Amino acid sequence: MSTQTLDEQYYAQLLQLQQYDFALVELTLFLDTHPNDMQALQQFNQLAQQRRQCAQQFEQQYGPLLQFGQSYSRYPWQWAQQPWPWQV
Protein backbone atom coordinates (compact mmCIF):
# COMPACT_ATOMS: atom_id res chain seq x y z
CA MET A 1 0.00 0.00 0.00
CA SER A 2 1.43 3.36 -0.98
CA THR A 3 2.01 6.18 1.49
CA GLN A 4 -0.39 8.41 -0.46
CA THR A 5 -3.19 5.83 -0.19
CA LEU A 6 -2.46 5.40 3.51
CA ASP A 7 -2.57 9.16 4.04
CA GLU A 8 -5.88 9.41 2.14
CA GLN A 9 -7.36 6.64 4.28
CA TYR A 10 -6.08 8.29 7.46
CA TYR A 11 -7.66 11.63 6.56
CA ALA A 12 -10.90 10.03 5.37
CA GLN A 13 -11.32 8.12 8.63
CA LEU A 14 -10.40 11.16 10.70
CA LEU A 15 -12.96 13.23 8.76
CA GLN A 16 -15.61 10.60 9.45
CA LEU A 17 -14.83 10.80 13.18
CA GLN A 18 -15.10 14.59 13.07
CA GLN A 19 -18.47 14.31 11.34
CA TYR A 20 -19.73 11.95 14.03
CA ASP A 21 -18.45 14.32 16.72
CA PHE A 22 -20.17 17.30 15.13
CA ALA A 23 -23.50 15.48 14.86
CA LEU A 24 -23.23 14.24 18.46
CA VAL A 25 -22.51 17.74 19.79
CA GLU A 26 -25.51 19.12 17.89
CA LEU A 27 -27.76 16.32 19.16
CA THR A 28 -26.49 16.90 22.71
CA LEU A 29 -27.45 20.57 22.49
CA PHE A 30 -30.85 19.67 21.06
CA LEU A 31 -31.49 17.04 23.73
CA ASP A 32 -30.56 19.54 26.44
CA THR A 33 -33.66 21.51 25.45
CA HIS A 34 -35.81 18.58 24.22
CA PRO A 35 -35.06 15.74 26.68
CA ASN A 36 -38.24 13.82 25.81
CA ASP A 37 -37.60 13.60 22.06
CA MET A 38 -37.31 9.83 21.63
CA GLN A 39 -36.28 10.03 17.97
CA ALA A 40 -33.39 12.40 18.73
CA LEU A 41 -32.30 10.20 21.63
CA GLN A 42 -32.34 7.10 19.43
CA GLN A 43 -30.34 8.93 16.77
CA PHE A 44 -27.84 10.08 19.41
CA ASN A 45 -27.36 6.53 20.71
CA GLN A 46 -27.01 5.11 17.20
CA LEU A 47 -24.42 7.72 16.22
CA ALA A 48 -22.55 7.23 19.51
CA GLN A 49 -22.27 3.51 18.77
CA GLN A 50 -21.13 4.14 15.18
CA ARG A 51 -18.58 6.69 16.41
CA ARG A 52 -17.23 4.23 18.98
CA GLN A 53 -16.77 1.58 16.27
CA CYS A 54 -15.14 4.08 13.91
CA ALA A 55 -12.76 5.27 16.65
CA GLN A 56 -11.88 1.70 17.56
CA GLN A 57 -11.03 0.91 13.94
CA PHE A 58 -9.01 4.14 13.61
CA GLU A 59 -7.02 3.38 16.76
CA GLN A 60 -6.25 -0.15 15.62
CA GLN A 61 -4.83 1.18 12.36
CA TYR A 62 -3.19 4.45 13.39
CA GLY A 63 -2.84 4.57 17.16
CA PRO A 64 -4.62 6.28 20.05
CA LEU A 65 -6.95 9.25 19.62
CA LEU A 66 -7.16 10.16 23.30
CA GLN A 67 -4.89 9.97 26.31
CA PHE A 68 -5.10 9.50 30.07
CA GLY A 69 -6.58 6.01 29.84
CA GLN A 70 -9.19 6.88 27.23
CA SER A 71 -7.40 4.88 24.51
CA TYR A 72 -5.22 1.78 24.53
CA SER A 73 -1.75 1.75 23.05
CA ARG A 74 0.11 -1.03 21.30
CA TYR A 75 3.79 -1.64 21.96
CA PRO A 76 5.86 0.45 21.68
CA TRP A 77 4.12 3.42 23.30
CA GLN A 78 2.26 5.11 20.44
CA TRP A 79 1.22 8.38 21.98
CA ALA A 80 4.58 9.98 21.19
CA GLN A 81 4.18 9.23 17.46
CA GLN A 82 3.07 12.05 15.19
CA PRO A 83 0.94 13.42 13.73
CA TRP A 84 -1.51 13.67 16.58
CA PRO A 85 -5.17 13.84 15.52
CA TRP A 86 -5.44 17.55 16.34
CA GLN A 87 -2.41 18.39 14.20
CA VAL A 88 -3.99 17.41 10.89
pLDDT surpasses 60 at 79: no
Quote the CA–CA distance of 24 and 50 in Å, as a whole number: 11
Q: Does 86 map to a domain?
A: no
Residue 78's CB: how many other CB atoms inside 10 A?
14
Give the domain extent around 19.
3-81
Total domain count, the chain:
1
Residue 67 domain-assigned (yes or no): yes
Task: Read off the pLDDT band of 80 (50, 70, 90).
Answer: low
pTM for the model stands at 0.73
Residue 54, number of CB atoms within 10 A of its CB: 16
Q: Is residue 56 part of a domain?
A: yes
Assigned domain for 87 exists: no
57 domain residue, yes or no: yes
**88 falls within a domain:** no
Task: Write out pLDDT tens, residues 26-38.
Answer: 999 999 999 899 9
- pLDDT exceeds 80 at position 45: yes
Give per-residue pLDDT as tens, 1-14: 555 566 889 999 99
Rg of the chain taking only CA atoms, in angstroms? 15
